[in-house]
Amino acid sequence: MDVATENYMRLPPLSRTVATFTFAVSAGIVLGILPAQYFIFHTFYLWRFPPQIWRLVTSFFVTSPGLGLLFDTYFLYSYLSQMEVGNPRFPRKEDLIWYLTFVCGTILVANHITGFGFMSFLPALILAMAYTVTQEQRGAKVNYMFITMPAQLMPFAMLAINLLFPGGAMNLLLQLHGLFAGHLFDFLTKTWPNYGGGRNLIPTPVVMSRLVQSVESFISARTAGGSRPAGQRLGGGSTSGSGSGASTSSGGPLPDSWRTRGPGQRLG
């Protein structure tokens, strides 16, 4: 394994996977290798048979044209890694996956209700993550576009900067969907339990935890199965021969791609 690959594998696993997928899909679209119409969102395709439900996911991983391929991918990785590594609000993988599921779902619902008809939502997702991250950095100072400001003002600066570019007003409207989704998650999971005397209204579902644990167990078993010596069982046990007793040992650890928590990048 060369140095570049080794450094890549040390990155936070969920963040690097999502950022890599986003870059690969968007680069394929820009180069004309992948047709954009198979990745964008439109309710028409959801009502066809069979329904193209993958659009509910892929529409969040298509970057803006031009420099958006680089900048959107960078900001996506930056904010996602800050939530994945060392953030007390997301101590488990399933908590972060549930956050992404809730926020993306809220953005889709808001898009339907407002009727703007947006077909890709990565800017909204990035704004939602920026809001969530910076709420945990209150009191800190960050730099954005060479301007130093309190961390919690970063999402609003990201909204305002759109007005400096042609067509930025529509991108601002799209990002407002993300601001709403991020604020709603923060209110239901933090503000209301801490200041309203209630409880977390959207805890991570048990089924989400079980699904993540099942995937981790499957990968662990596949890894152990691919590297076990001859005569060793998949569960980590080994047999000493026909007619003799079997001794067992604990299964192999999770692969580095799941248990390594590399250093995240903090904006500013």
CB 56 within 8 A of CB 107: no
- The torsion angles phi and psi of 233, rounded to 5 degrees, stand at -80, 165
The pLDDT of residue 146: 80
Extents of the domains making up the chain: 63-195
Residue-averaged pLDDT of the chain: 83
Residues with Cβ within 8 Å of 192's Cβ and at least 6 positions away in sequence, in order, are: 198, 201
Query: Does the pLDDT value for residue 241 go beyond 50?
Result: no
Half-sphere exposure of 9 (CA within 13 A, CB side): 11
| Measured distance CA(176)–CA(111) in Å, rounded | 10
Q: What is the DSSP letter of 60?
A: T
Q: pLDDT digits over 73-97, tens only?
A: 999 999 999 999 988 899 999 999 9
Instruction: State if pTM tops 0.85.
Output: no
Cα-based angle 133, 138, 140 (whole degrees, multiple of 5): 100
Query: Does the pLDDT value for residue 44 go beyond 70?
Result: yes
